[in-house]
Amino acid sequence: MPQSLSCVLVHAVFSTKNRHAFLADAGIRSEVLAYIGGVSKRLGCPPVAIGGADDHVHALVYLSRTLCLADWIKEVKRVSSAFGKRRAPGFAWQAGYGAFSVDPTSLDRVAAYVRGQAEHHRKVSFQEEFRRLLQEHGMEWDERYVWD
């Protein structure tokens, strides 16, 4: 085959340092989410949907065929952290993340879920949501890192 093709959809979730509500201000949140989308696009990982709540972000992207997941998240967090610090002193991301594969037939449903984060978290905590995602994907985890 003379060309390389891929269609890998990833739903990534990462939180602010100590789950501080740096993104509680809707204006700051909007700027940071837009910035994350732009960084992701420049990295060759076109965003489908970027959403978030006071203390975390969800990103649904097509992963580049030339960039590994860990490098994409590391760079998105590094660059957006510097941007966030200019908007909210002390802004930082927590070290870890969750990443989940998405079936292309579920794209619209997951994109709507990612975009509806602010509303969703009026009813469900970040910890409840993250635990549910881990369970749905059959993942094992250490409670110390989900709840810290």
What token pair was written down for 97? 């993340």
Taking a C-beta distance cutoff of 8 angstroms, is the pair 35, 41 a contact? no
pLDDT at residue 138, as a whole number = 87
101/9 Cα distance (integer angstroms): 6
Q: Is residue 4 situated within a structural domain?
A: no
Give the CATH number of the domain where residue 32 resides.
3.30.70.1290
pLDDT of residue 148: 52
pLDDT at 125: 82
Determine the structural domain holding residue 71 and report its residue range.
Answer: 9-147
* Residue 138 belongs to a domain: yes
Quote the number of domains for the chain. 1
Task: Report the length, in residues, of the chain.
Answer: 148
Quick check: helix, strand or coil at residue 85? helix
SS3 content of the chain, % helix, strand, coil (to 5): 50, 20, 35
Domain for residue 2, yes or no?
no
Residue 87 lies in a domain: yes
pLDDT under 70: residue ranges of the chain = 1, 145-148
Per-residue model confidence (pLDDT) at position 140: 85
For residue 143, tell me if it sits in a domain: yes
Say what the pLDDT of residue 10 is: 98
Q: Is residue 3 part of a domain?
A: no
In a domain, 1, yes or no: no
Q: Is the pTM of this model over 0.85?
A: yes
What value, to the nearest 5°, has the Cα angle with vertex 84 and ends 83 and 89?
A: 120
Sheet holding 98-102, edge to edge: 47-53, 56-62, 9-15, 98-102
